[in-house]
Amino acid sequence: MSHGRSGWERTVPPRVGPFREGAFRSPLHSVRVAAVLGIALGVAFTVCFVTGFLSHLIQHPPSFFEWPARPDWLYRLTQGIHVSTGIASIPLLLAKLWTVYPRFWTWPPLRSAAHLIERLALLPLVGGSLFLLFTGVGSIARWFPWSFSFPPAHYAAAWVTIGALIVHVGAKAGATRLALSSRSPELDTGAVAAERGWGSLSRRGLLGAAFGGAAALWLATAGQTVRPLASISVLAPRDPRVGPQGLPVNKTASSAGVVDAATADGWRLTVEGSVATPLTLSLEDLRSMRLREADLVIACVDGWSATGRWRGVPVRDLLALAGASPSSAVTIESLQRPGAAYASSDLHPGQVADPDTMLAVELNGAPLHIDHGFPVRLIGPNRPGVQQTKWVAGVVVS
Ligand code: HEM
């Protein structure tokens, strides 16, 4: 029924289902709780967006961007923060959605063009948030119940979600300020909620459960990169202490289809491209060169990281041997089928110049395990694990 108002408004709500007056009486559905959880989610999603975008830039660098080789712990930190912040967001997002879901049945559903935009932005905001957290968790658990490629889909969803979040923050800034201002009543206690007959969970209790859940999830997973927590991180997909030669492995030689080629007697490393003397080197040739030893981190895009002691030939020494300019850029190619995911990676001149950027032949005092890249793998400071190319067969200088 209308009261003669035109446009968006129809003032009398249908008296059915969730539209009934008093359909949602729990005091937990409060603007103040929504605002507190919203701010926490806003901070968490911004941190995830910035660290995720950085990881994207490192792996797909535009011409103006050079990720430095030092400090060697930086990518481990930023990607560890990305994954653990995403995981900690899960209870915050669920609590927020539960707090605000009665708002989906407010009447009239649309009040103005601005209100229409605000509400339309909820689709990418809620859908994008759920998609990002679901695909992120699936990916670190190596569980892919979808047929699309994870990195581009997760990256595109991040842009959509952050755009919708900006619209949402703009729309809710006033309500948030008001709800958190000193004029607004204090968060009530369990007694108030109990009085209203909605159980004993107070707003403080709900917030405590959401933030406590976030902290518990963080502790239960952060040990995959914060080593002292490894023994209590029971939900961490990876234990940084477990794997061949004491280090985890994501992609095995058999899953990459390189076992025969990597163990063949005829394996040789070629150094070619912009060089004065192209080289073809056996594993013995490499072992007889001056080897460098360094503690370096495998920092996986999945958020786990682990340090090993590596021995190998600095890439810059190979360039010198081939008569290439020391300020060259280099592509490292593996035995994997060209075009396969992470079959090659690029080193910019700053990374080549670092003496710890090397083609490793040993890990923790023994020849490389085949799943760590036997006969030779790239290892360099401050690089994502997917760029530490394994089963190397070629160095192409440009
Ligand atoms: C991933 C992040 C976020 C998600 C998924 C999310 C989701 C939602 C949804 C679905 C609603 C109900 C919309 C409506 O019909 O009014 C809502 C309301 C609200 N949000 Fe957010 N939000 C997020 C971040 C934020 C941030 C950063 C703030 C603070 C600036 C915020 C403050 C609010 C407020 C005050 C309300 C109104 C609650 C009410 O009137 O009952 N939200 N949010």
Tokens of 157: 């969803």
Contact 376, 360 (CB under 8 A): yes
Residue of 36, 45, 89, 96 with the most ligand 1 atoms within 8 Å of its CB, for mutation: 96
Residue of 31, 46, 94, 172 with the most ligand 1 atoms within 8 Å of its CB, for mutation: 172
pLDDT of residue 227: 87
Sequence-separated (6 or more) residues with CB below 8 Å from residue 358: 292, 294, 310, 312, 313, 314, 315, 378, 379, 380
Atom of ligand 1 lying closest to residue 119 CA:
15
Tokens of 68: 């430095």
CA distance 301 to 82: 9
How far, in Å, is the centroid of ligand 1 from the Cα of 132?
17
The residue among 91, 165, 156 whose CA lies nearest residue 126 is 165
pLDDT of residue 23: 74
Which residues approach ligand 1 with their CB closer than 6 A? 31, 34-35, 38-39, 41-42, 45, 93, 96, 100, 103, 122, 125-126, 129, 165, 168-169, 172-173, 175-176, 179
Give every residue of the chain whose pLDDT is below 50, as ranges.
Answer: 1-9, 186, 188-191, 193-195, 197
What is the SS3 assignment for 122?
A: helix
Nearest CA to ligand 1 atom 33: 35
Long-range CB contacts (< 8 A, 24+ apart) of 109-116? 110/8, 111/8, 111/9, 112/8, 114/171, 115/8
Tokens of 193: 């909620």
DSSP 8-state code for residue 229: G
Place of tokens 């670092």: 354
CA distance 106 to 118: 14
Environment class of 345 (CB within 10 Å of its CB; exposed 0-12, middle 13-18, buried 19+) = buried
CA distance 374 to 216: 39
Atom of ligand 1 lying closest to residue 122 CA:
10
pLDDT of residue 274: 98
